[in-house]
Amino acid sequence: MKSNLIQIVISFICLLANSASAQRAWTLKECLDTALIKNISINQSYLSSQIARINLIQARAAQLPNLYLNDSHSLNAGFSLDPYTNQYTSQNISSNNLSLNSSVNLFNGHVLLYTIKQNKLLYEAGLLDIDKLKVDVTLNILAAYMQVLMDYAAIAIANQQVIVSDTLVGQTRKFLQFGKVAELSLLQIQSQLASDKLLQLNAENQLQLDKLTLLQLMETPVDNLFEIKKLETEDSVLVMPPSSAQIYEVAVSFMPQIKSASLRIDASKASIKVAQCLGIPSLVLSGGLKTGYSSIRSNYTTDTSYQSTTIGYVRGDPTQPVTGEVPTYNSNKQVQSLGSQLKNNFGEFISLTLSVPIFNRYVARNNISIAKINVRYAAFNEQQLKNDLRKSVEMVYTNQIIAGKKMMAVKEQLDLERRTYADMEKKYSFGAVDATSFLIEKNNFDKASMSFIQAKYDYALKTKMVDFYLNKPLNY
């Protein structure tokens, strides 16, 4: 029983902890960090950069000598050639060849050096491509975050409109009781309250949709408790940014896609050098150790013995034999042992190979042509990226100017509507104007308030976009 109680308490504490964690307000930095960590394209680019890094390591390692240990075992039956006695035999042969070989490029026209340079540039360009993806994610998260902030402000205004309309309903009921207004006025105010509640609901629904967009950009499952830190934007003051040309000069100096394109041009130029080196003589130093074994390799030993034997007769008389020492030869065959064969068959070799390309079927020439085309292609790609960046800067600059002018115009309209609405509200409370005239003015004021919120946050977003291209930090 006590154990179950402890488990219940622990579970309750964990539930409270998870609830508190889920209800925390996310800052822009936290949203951005989460998106950068979870973004699939960025993670795939990280893997691609690791492949490029391995290629660079391999290109550097190609300068080192190689070393191979080779061992082969053969079984021959029937008529065959003994690899060590170099004699034909019909016996079954078991043989083994063991060698240790190494070679190193002494000179190959600097192919390896230019290949290393090319892979290094491609690796660095790949890292910058990751930064470009981060830039895209950052701008998308910023726009989505600002949209949610605007939704919070829009809901606040919608809530205030509902409160005002609800108060007016109560006030109009009193007017109706005292005969100051007709029943139609109460119906009109109640209809306005219903409209304001619908706008409130629409604002809340839009907030949920924009939260969904932000969470999806963060690669995070939908969470109904997700909230961002509710920060009010400052009352925006119209500030003229630098010219689009000045913004572009700053942006082109640090944007990663421009640096990546420049590195790829250099890498393509290095590939020209690699192709040109294919027509240059190369010099390779090789060496090795070798030994082997044959199952039929044998040692032959010959023993000589002398025996006294009749070698003739005196004058052909058998009774007068002539004797002498006659040699007898005895041959012994003994298969050589494995150790002795490996020792006796041991050999060394060293070679210096010079290769002069006289005609390689136009491979070098065609590779050079292709490499030059790739350089031009990379240059066009860099120019295209610069053009795209310039267009983006011009669009952001123009959008900020337009958004600023719109914000100031809406603000002026709002100030006038606020004064007019205050005057109409006072007159309505004294019965000086009818409900229709008052509601028209209230709707105009409500629309102006909502328009100002939209214009204010739109200008704030456009300003942040300009600040981004000016390499200023995003503070939210």
Q: Give yes or no for residue 83 having a pLDDT over 80.
A: no
Instruction: Say which range, 135-149, 232-246, 298-312, 431-445, has the weakest mean pLDDT.
Output: 298-312
Q: Give yes or no for residue 206 having a pLDDT over 80.
A: yes
Average pLDDT of the chain to the nearest whole number: 85
SS3 content of the chain, % helix, strand, coil (to 5): 65, 20, 20
Contact 398, 241 (CB under 8 A): no
Q: Band of the pLDDT at 115, cuts 50, 70, 90?
A: very high
Looking at residue 308, what is its pLDDT? 73
Averaged pLDDT for residues 203-228:
94
Looking at residue 11, what is its pLDDT? 43
Q: Give yes or no for residue 5 having a pLDDT over 60.
A: no
Looking at residue 278, what is its pLDDT? 83
Averaged pLDDT for residues 194-209:
95
Give the pLDDT confidence of 387-418 residue by residue, as tens digits: 999 999 999 999 999 999 999 999 999 999 99
User: For residue 274, which of 123, 114, 62 has the smallest C-alpha distance?
Assistant: 114
Looking at residue 297, what is its pLDDT? 64
Q: Which residues are registered as beta bridge partners of 353?
A: 284
Instruction: Say which range, 116-120, 145-149, 284-288, 424-428, has the weakest mean pLDDT.
Output: 424-428
Q: Give yes or no for residue 19 having a pLDDT over 50.
A: no
Averaged pLDDT for residues 9-30:
58
Contact 112, 274 (CB under 8 A): no
Query: Residue 332 corresponds to which tokens in the numbers above?
Result: 């012994």
Averaged pLDDT for residues 224-249:
82
Query: Residue 90 corresponds to which tokens in the numbers above?
Result: 């019909």
Looking at residue 398, what is its pLDDT? 95
Looking at residue 23, what is its pLDDT? 62
Which residue has better confidence, 204 or 361? 204
Category of 179 on φ-ψ map: left (φ > 0), alpha (ψ -120 to 50) or beta: left
- What Cα–Cα distance (Å) separates residue 382 from each residue in 61, 117, 386? 31, 20, 6
Averaged pLDDT for residues 214-236:
84
Query: Residue 32 corresponds to which tokens in the numbers above?
Result: 């951005």
Q: Band of the pLDDT at 109, cuts 50, 70, 90?
A: confident
Q: List, as one string, the DSSP characters of 190-216.
A: HHHHHHHHHHHHHHHHHHHHHHHHHHH
* Sign of the CA dihedral with 106 first, then 109, 112, and 114 last: positive
Q: List, as one string, the DSSP characters of 351-402.
A: EEEEE--S--TTHHHHHHHHHHHHHHHHHHHHHHHHHHHHHHHHHHHHHHHH
Q: Give yes or no for residue 429 having a pLDDT over 60.
A: yes
Contact 378, 265 (CB under 8 A): yes
Contact 251, 92 (CB under 8 A): no
Strands 227-228 and 25-26: parallel
Which residue has better confidence, 158 or 19? 158
DSSP code of 84? T
DSSP code of 279? G
Looking at residue 269, what is its pLDDT? 95
Looking at residue 449, what is its pLDDT? 93
Give the pLDDT confidence of 322-348 residue by residue, as tens digits: 676 767 666 555 666 777 777 778 889
User: For residue 471, which of 301, 258, 193 has the smallest C-alpha distance?
Assistant: 258
Q: Band of the pLDDT at 75, cuts 50, 70, 90?
A: confident
Which residue has better confidence, 118 or 4? 118
Q: Give yes or no for residue 144 having a pLDDT over 80.
A: yes
Distance CA(12)–CA(9), nearest Å, equals 5
Averaged pLDDT for residues 191-208:
94
Q: List, as one string, the DSSP characters of 215-259.
A: HHHTT----TT-EE---PPP-----PPPPHHHHHHHHHHH-HHHH
Whether the model clears a pTM of 0.85, i.e. scores above it, the answer is: no
Q: Band of the pLDDT at 9, cuts 50, 70, 90?
A: very low
Looking at residue 279, what is its pLDDT? 85
Looking at residue 234, what is its pLDDT? 61
Distance CA(42)–CA(368), nearest Å, equals 34
Class of the domain covering 25-64+110-280+360-476: mainly alpha
